Structure 1
Amino acid sequence: MFPCKVKIDQLDRTNTKVKDVDVKTNKTLTKGKIKKVTTKKGERTPFYYLGDYFQEKGKVIGHFLSLGTSVKLEKHFLQNEMKNSKSSLMGEKLQNTKRAAMGEIYMDTIKDVPTLCFEPHEKSKVPEAKWPKILKEMKEYFSGMKAVAVINGKIVEAEEDKEETSVEPTEKKDTTDSNQGKTKQDIAKRFKALQQSYVTVRDNEHDAKVVKKLYLDLKLWLEDFKQLPTEEQKELKAFYEKFSTVVEGVKKIIKADQKIDVHLKNVTEAIAKYVAFTDHSIEPAMALKKKALVELDEIIKFAKFVGASEMLNQCHVIKKLFDA
Structure 2
Amino acid sequence: MAGYMKSLRKRMADFKGTIVNSAIAGGTVAFEEILNHAVYYCPCVEKSELGSCYSTSSSQNSSYQCTRNPNRVYGLVFIAIPAVALFFLSLAAHPSLWKIVTGRRVRDRAVRARRDKICFTIVDVCTRSMIAPVVWVCYSLLDGKYYACSVTPLPYHFDGKTYKSCQNVARAAQLLYSDAYRDNSSYSQRAGWIVLGCSAFVAFIGYTLSRYFYPMTYYHAKYYDLYRMHEENEFDDEMNKKAQQHAEDNVKKFMEKHRAKKLWDRISTIFRFHRNCDQRALYSYLHEFILDEERNESPVIGNGVDTVATEATESNITETKILDTVAAEATEPNVTETKM
**TM-score, structure 2 normalization:** 0.25
The structure, 1 or 2, with the larger RCO (C-alpha pairs under 8 Å, 6+ apart) is 2
Structure in which a larger fraction of residues adopt helix? 2
Between structure 1 and structure 2, the one with the greater Rg is 2
